[in-house]
Amino acid sequence: MSLYDDLDLEKGVHRMIAAPTGGGKSYFVGAMIEGLYEKKIPFIIFDTKTENHIGLIALKDVKKLTISPKYNYKNLDALLDYPYILCVPASRNIDIADIINIYREILSFLWLNEKGKRIFICEEAHNWNKNASVPDPLFERIAREGRGAEKYLWFVTQRLQNFSQLLWAQCGITYLMHFNIPSDIRYASQMIPEFDWKKSDGKKIPGLNYELAEHDVLIWDGREYKIIKAADVKRKTEHKG
């Protein structure tokens, strides 16, 4: 069985991908995106860094869209011609709030105007949804209605406790790497049983989080889990993030 089979990329669900900074998240997400490309599933990546996923433009027909507040993005119809899109900031010095405001316009346009399947990959999803207690309205609408339109959100974050559990609850599959911050571990435990502690022979023992070696990935689909070892995650394109 290949990595792509384990990831079940053709399943029509929203997804949550979370790991602390340096946890191997962007490398893993890049491998997932390569799987989408191989399976000819259209996607758009809303990257918040200039080089995080830049290696993916080595794939034929991946369109790079450079984002700057100086540009006018009112005419977005041309995006409908590209099945694979990577959006990146024009500079590292651009405020992330300005980038996300433009990304929100693009996301809204594609959500309202595009027919057919598309994966929306939202890096630093916690910065799109500033209040963990109140879901971002656009995210919430797509999370609730997107399946019928074949539009699926991938929430990518390194700040687990700052992301809305209401949106997370809409995700059919979650991918987590090892966390060290107690508040993140507690937060994950509210969504994934036995993430922090589990019982064995009536005794309380360390849970799933502590079974994860560096860059291993826990996959949880709401019923059962499996762990992908870091060595089994291999990229075809260069990772620069």
Q: What is the structure's pLDDT at 5?
A: 76
| Secondary-structure class of domain 3-232 per CATH | alpha beta
pLDDT surpasses 70 at 1? no
Percent of the residues in the chain that have a pLDDT greater than 70, as a whole number: 99
CA distance 114 to 77: 9
Written as six digits, the tokens of 6 are 């384990």
Cα–Cα distance for residue pair 157/232, rounded to 1 Å: 22
pLDDT of residue 150: 97
Q: Which residue has the tokens 């011609």?
A: 81
Distance CA 180, CA 223 (A): 24
Mean pLDDT confidence for 74-82: 92
Average pLDDT, the chain: 94
pLDDT of res. 75? 84
Residue-wise burial string across 33-61, b where 16 or more C-beta atoms lie within 10 A, e elsewhere: bbbbbeeebbbbbbbbbbebbbbbeeeee
pLDDT band for position 188 (cuts 50, 70, 90): very high
**Count of other CB atoms within 10 angstroms of residue 215:** 19
DSSP string, 115-169: -S-EEEEETTHHHHS--TTS--HHHHHHHHHHHHHTEEEEEEES-GGGS-HHHHT
Task: Please give the average per-residue pLDDT across 60-69, as a whole number.
Answer: 95
Number of other residues whose CB lies within 10 A of the CB of residue 20? 16
Bridge pairing between strands 197-200 and 203-206: antiparallel
